[in-house]
Amino acid sequence: MSFLYNISIAFYTLMIRIASLFNGKAREWVKGRKDWKKELSAAFGKDDKIAWFHAASLGEFEQGRPVIEAFRRDYPEFKILLTFFSPSGYLQRKDYKGADKVMYLPPDCAHNTRYFVKSLRPVIAVFIKYEFWYNYLSALKKQDVPVFFISAIFRKDQPFFKWYGSWFRKHLQDIAHFFVQDEPSAAMLGSIGISRVTVSGDTRFDRVADILDSKYENRDIENFCRGHKVLLAGSTWPPDEELLATVRESFPALKMIIAPHEVKEERITQLTETLKTDVARYTKDTAEEWPEKQLLIIDTIGVLSSVYRYADIAYIGGAFGTGLHNIQEPAVNGIPVIFGPGYHKFKEAVDLVRLGGAFSVSNENELQECLEKLLNDHEAYKSACDISRRYMLENTGATEKIVRGLKPYLQG
């Protein structure tokens, strides 16, 4: 199995290099790793105590960010290395001040991993959620570096739990500790004899709670919303936007803010054409023009999580195909959340639908009925708001559990 795994890594790397000839993202993947040995050697001194955190992409980073920042606060004597696998994560967080060095993770082939771990000499290695790179895990074991997985989720369809999974399971046995999001994940690990597990919860709850507590004012958006009910649609894709286009005629007094998942110019043009209405753009139109429009498009990144506080209802995209995006950011603001039918892999979505703080819709009629109830039934709206906020705040605390669990491995 080790031979087949290494062949697959070599083949994958070759395919990325070929793709880089005509694909920008693949080109960045290759270019960003070009001088990784020099980059790593120059980043730290020989006497530095280093904690290594790894995230696949931006979503995993945001999940691990509360832990990285709490670790920095509690253990200032450590230097922090943050690595990414995906360009989408690295390019957006390459200047992140919470780490002493941010870089790409070199491909998981044996000679890379041996050099990386021996040069870095980390005290601990922390992998966020997923990313099981088996040569890295082997190299860390040989150097007696304790490895942790945080905010992890395990499901029965993963190879660890299949009849052919003994090679994969062997690597899990070497992990110092798993901090998992839920009881089913702990049970799955227990079924293969792994007991070094803590059900710590989801660190994203802590992250969005921090955002809620932050001081943020946007007077321009506040003026756009003033005197109206507001639906804020975040991280939308074309199927979401086609559904939302039906809202304008049925609820003419309802103002909308839409922040599409991608903000490339062609996507903004497509969105504008789909909605068939006169819109204001966050980066293009002057703020004085916004209040006259029914729709404001957030055509930039970095502000969405803070803008939910100005909305009355949230719609979150992705559940018609690509996967539901972050519903915690709106929910922590104590507003109802609406999304498409593909949400069952997301525990917080399942929980909030069951409790009555979130609502899944599959078509135009269901969206219309949901909005009708939330906008016109005050008691139903207030109940959904209370449920959302209470659920979010009751599930904070994962970061503290994880950082406390790392402490025994940092002594000496």
Mean pLDDT, rounded, for 3-14: 89
Count of CB atoms within 10 A of residue 288's CB? Answer: 9
Rg of the chain on CA atoms, in Å: 23
Q: Do 216-394 and 2-201+397-409 fall under one CATH topology?
A: yes
The pLDDT, as a whole number, for residue 361 is 97
| Greater pLDDT, 358 or 57 | 358
Mean pLDDT, rounded, for 10-18: 91
Mean pLDDT, rounded, for 77-101: 94
Q: How far is CA 186 from CA 56, 200, 391, in A?
A: 22, 10, 22
The pLDDT, as a whole number, for residue 172 is 93
The pLDDT, as a whole number, for residue 252 is 86
Mean pLDDT, rounded, for 116-120: 96
Tens of pLDDT along 150-207?
A: 999 998 999 999 999 999 999 999 999 999 999 999 999 999 999 999 999 999 899 8
The pLDDT, as a whole number, for residue 292 is 87
Tens of pLDDT along 381-404?
A: 999 999 999 999 899 999 999 999
The pLDDT, as a whole number, for residue 38 is 94
Tokens for 347, please give them.
């525990």
Tens of pLDDT along 219-236?
A: 999 999 999 999 999 999
pLDDT at 412 over 70: no
Q: Residues with Cβ < 8 Å from 403, sequence gap 6 or more?
A: 67, 70, 71, 74
The pLDDT, as a whole number, for residue 276 is 77
Query: Distance (Å, rounded) from C-alpha 371 to C-alpha 23?
Result: 41
The pLDDT, as a whole number, for residue 287 is 86
Query: Distance (Å, rounded) from C-alpha 134 to C-alpha 383?
Result: 47
- The count of residues in the chain is 412
**For a pLDDT cut of 90, what percent of the chain falls above it?**
75
The pLDDT, as a whole number, for residue 305 is 86
CA–CA–CA angle 239, 242, 244 (5° rounding)? 110
Note the CATH number of domain 2-201+397-409.
3.40.50.11720
Residue type, 281: R
The pLDDT, as a whole number, for residue 177 is 97
Query: Distance (Å, rounded) from C-alpha 146 to C-alpha 69?
Result: 20
Q: How confident is the model at residue 214 (pLDDT cuts 50, 70, 90)?
A: confident
Tens of pLDDT along 245-304?
A: 988 888 988 999 999 998 889 899 899 888 877 788 999 888 888 988 889 999 988 888
pTM metric for this prediction: 0.82
Task: Give the closest residue to 67 by CA, choosing from 412, 401, 312.
Answer: 401
Top-level class of domain 216-394: alpha beta
Tokens for 58, please give them.
């931006």
Task: Give the closest residue to 279 by CA, choosing from 300, 293, 267.
Answer: 293
Contact 196, 148 (CB under 8 A): no
Tens of pLDDT along 90-111?
A: 998 999 999 999 999 999 999 9
Tens of pLDDT along 148-166?
A: 999 999 989 999 999 999 9
Residue ranges covered by each domain of the chain:
2-201+397-409, 216-394
The pLDDT, as a whole number, for residue 405 is 95
Mean pLDDT, rounded, for 210-217: 79
The pLDDT, as a whole number, for residue 88 is 84
Q: How far is CA 390 from CA 214, 308, 387, 395, in A?
A: 19, 17, 5, 9
Query: Distance (Å, rounded) from C-alpha 229 to C-alpha 313?
Result: 8
Q: How far is CA 343 from CA 13, 132, 142, 181, in A?
A: 32, 24, 40, 17
**For a pLDDT cut of 70, what percent of the chain falls above it?**
100
The pLDDT, as a whole number, for residue 212 is 76
Query: Distance (Å, rounded) from C-alpha 50 to C-alpha 209?
Result: 28
| Greater pLDDT, 215 or 87 | 87
Mean pLDDT of the chain: 92
